[in-house]
Structure formats: C-alpha cells, structure tokens
Amino acid sequence: MAEHPDQVPSYPLGLRLAGLAVLVVGGGAVATRRVPALLDAGAQVRLVAPWITPALRGLVDAGRVSWLDRRFRPADLDGCWLAQVAVDDRVAAAAVSAAARERRVFCVRADDRHAATAWTPAVTRHGPVTVAVLGGGEPRRAMAVRDAVRDLLLSDSPPHEPGVALVGAGPGDPELITVRGRRLLAAADVVIADRLIPGLLLDELRPDVELIDASKIPYGPAAAQEEINRLLIDRAQAGRFVVRLKGGDPYVFGRGGEEAAACAAAGVPVLVVPGVTSAIGAPSAAGVPVTHRGLAQEFTVVSGHVPPGHPDSTVDWGLLGQSRGTLCVLMGLKNLDPIVAALVDGGRAATTPAMLIQEGTTSSQRVVRGTLATIVSTADAAGLRPPAVLVLGDVVTLAPESS
C-alpha cells in the first residue's frame, strides 16, 4: 500500500534567496504575513493579485515589492525559484501549483498543504540562529515546539562579541522590555543597571554576571556619569559584553547619547536597543492615549527635573503654556508647583485636565486626577512620590474613572 503523502518525511532545507525571484500569488492576510520574511531573506518578491492589503501596498510604494495588478498567469513563474500561493480559491491555487510543477518550481500553498510541494515551517530567530520546525502538516504542533525552542534559546544565550549595548528596559513592567533587549541581557557578561529598571529582570541574570548598580556610584551626578562611561569602556576593552540597562528608552532623558559618544570615542562598539518610554507607556497604562482624533494632534515630552526659570533649564515653559496639545512631564514631581505656575502664566487654562501617574505599568501604579489648578494639592494629599509622570490635556478625560 502506498504511503499517504503526509506520511512521507519531508526534507528540511534552508533556502538562500538573496537576489532570487519569488512569486507570491494573492494580496490578503496570508500574503501580508509571508512577504516580510521573504524580503528579510533578500528575495526579489513579485506579487500578483487584483487587490492587496494596505500593508503590502506600502511595500510596493516603497519599491521593495513589484506588483502585477491582475490575476495569475503561468508566465509569471518564469525565472522564479519559489512560489507562495496565498489565495483561498482552490481552483486558482491549483492552477498556480500546476504551472509551478511544470517549471520545477517549489510551491507553498496556504489553501491545501496536501497539494503543496513545500511547507512553510514555524520559525524563531535568535541572533544569527534560525530554528524552523515542521510539524508533519500540523501548524499548531509546529508552533508549540517552536515556542519551546525559543524559550530555551532565550534562557541559554551564546557568548556575545565584546562591546556595549544600551538597552531600554521600558517603563516598569518587566514584560515591556523588547525581545531583543531581553536576548542581549541574557548574553551579558556585565550589567550596569539604573535604579528605575524592573528588578525582576535582574533576577533572571546568570550567576556569573557582574552586576553594577549605577545608582550607588558615590561621586555625585556629574562625576557618576563619567564613572559609568569609564566602566562601560573598561569592561568592554577587557573583552566582555556589557549591557547598560536603562529605564524607559536610552535616548529619552537617559543620557544614552553621552554614553554612546564616550564608547565610540574609545573605539568600543555600541548597539542601541530602544525601549518603551514612560512618557507614553505610563499614560497608556492609565487609559490615556497621548493623541486622539479631535482632541490632540500633538504631544510634547519635557523633563521637569530643573524648575522653570533655573539657569540650566532649556524648556520654554511659556511657549508650552500656549500649546493645546498633550504635555507629558517626566521627573517633574519635585518641581510641580513652579511648573504649574509657569504653564498658567504662559496661557494654559487652569481648568486643563491633569493626571499624575506614579510607577506606571507596575503593580504599584497609582493615579491621581485633577486640573492644572488642583493637581499640586491633590498630589500632596495623596502623598505621591517619584517616579511619576504628569499628563496635561483633554486626552486625560478619556481615561476610565477607575484609573
């Protein structure tokens, strides 16, 4: 008795598609999912479909994909090395796979895996390592195995080349660090961590990692930054991979630019991994979109660690007082009173809705609401403490009352 096609083992193979033509037939959700991976592999993607999604149209407009605005013709396969059929019409899909077979072109079919000559595996990528899992035609099984392998790779990262990575840890919730940031953290030999980074991330470090608490460097703010720069360079030049773990985003009031410049001047390779800034993450966690159609078409982020009128302040508080957009103030709790006064003096209405979010996105998050006129007394009565984000603007009214 002949074996069923699905019972015949498949032959795993990694295709090197850089510079080679690949045909994608169909312009819907499946094609939208498949095309980015083909482009990442360097393929020259030809798209054939009478209609495509906005995401695919964006790739066409950017010149990354060529598009034939019509139905498939067999000649479309000429010169192609691979075909991806991403249509639900079984008759149309069969015509594509028949034409591919005649030309000895492997063909992936989204509508019928039994009729395909190639299957798309479940894939996870970990730096230079790509793991592809075939589940015998069962996508859920393949994805489950893929996810298990991904978790294993994240927990057992290979050694990284010496250098420095400036990694944004996000606004407080340890799950809001990026996948790349977490992967680099797992590979670190040295971690220099800010005070406001999620503590649970440090609990996941290998036992042999050198952990340096940047908040305990006893030199004062300016000298401490010089010492951090020295430590980054010293450890990297000693052949170690250093992760500078910073709250929020490294380049949003995090002195990441200074650290990157110091490393570059010393010839130390630097990688910057963006993070979710609390200027957006904290309001979102409290139910406040910083922009909203009809209410705010702009938002401004400023630091409030220097009060208005101070010689070191570069913020034009008077101009901000004239703005109608959303204003997010970081590190401003200590100077809240003069900040409010400067905004009112600049023309911002005292009735402007206001919100303070302490330790946003974490289990300790606290929120107080009021107006520009009342937010100082409300914060004092609530006993708020840093870190806290001040949000001003009509968008505050969109937050649920329970926030």
For residue 392, CA distances in Å to 282, 285, 287, 296, 351 come to 13, 16, 14, 11, 10
Q: Examine the fold and report which residue of 227, 252, 273 is the final residue of a domain before the chain moves on.
A: 273
**Residue 299 sits in the same domain as residue 262:** no
* pLDDT at residue 13, as a whole number: 87
**Residue 187 sits in the same domain as residue 250:** yes
CA dist 273 and 356 (Å) reads 28
CA dist 316 and 216 (Å) reads 33
Q: Examine the fold and report which residue of 273, 306, 322 is the final residue of a domain before the chain moves on.
A: 273
**CATH number of the domain where residue 226 is located:** 3.40.1010.10
**Residue 289 sits in the same domain as residue 383:** yes
* pLDDT at residue 207, as a whole number: 84
In a domain, 12, yes or no: no
CA dist 309 and 317 (Å) reads 9
In a domain, 11, yes or no: no
**Residue 201 sits in the same domain as residue 237:** yes
**CATH number of the domain where residue 78 is located:** 3.40.50.720
Q: Domain residues for 372?
A: 279-398
Q: What's the predicted TM-score (pTM) here? A: 0.79
**Residue 174 sits in the same domain as residue 214:** yes
In a domain, 208, yes or no: yes
Question: Which of 212, 209, 275 shows the shortest CA–CA distance to 247?
Answer: 275
Q: Examine the fold and report which residue of 63, 95, 120 is the final residue of a domain before the chain moves on.
A: 120
Model confidence over 242-279: pLDDT tens digits?
999 999 999 999 999 999 999 999 999 999 999 999 99
Is-contact 348 321, C-beta < 8 A?
A: yes
In a domain, 9, yes or no: no
Model confidence over 152-192: pLDDT tens digits?
776 666 678 999 999 999 999 999 999 999 999 989 999 99
What average pLDDT does range 82-86 have in this prediction? 96
Domain total of the chain: 4
Is-contact 204 234, C-beta < 8 A?
A: no
**Residue 299 sits in the same domain as residue 382:** yes
Q: What share of the chain is helix, strand, coil (3-state, %, to 5)?
A: 35, 20, 40
In a domain, 67, yes or no: yes
The residue ranking higher by pLDDT, 271 or 29, is 271
Helices and strands in the chain: count of H runs, count of E runs: 12, 17
**Residue 250 sits in the same domain as residue 299:** no
**Residue 392 sits in the same domain as residue 365:** yes
Dihedral sign, CA of 279, 321, 392, 333?
A: positive
In a domain, 8, yes or no: no
In a domain, 5, yes or no: no
Hey, what amino acid is at 311?
A: P
What average pLDDT does range 15-30 have in this prediction? 95
Model confidence over 277-316: pLDDT tens digits?
999 999 999 999 999 999 999 999 999 999 999 999 999 9
pLDDT at position 76 over 70: yes
Identify the three-state secondary structure at position 40: helix
Give me the active site residues, please.
Answer: 194, 216
Is-contact 368 396, C-beta < 8 A?
A: no
For residue 301, CA distances in Å to 206, 277, 331 come to 36, 10, 11
**CATH number of the domain where residue 356 is located:** 3.30.950.10
**Percentage of the chain modeled with pLDDT above 90:** 73
**Residue 199 sits in the same domain as residue 168:** yes
In a domain, 76, yes or no: yes
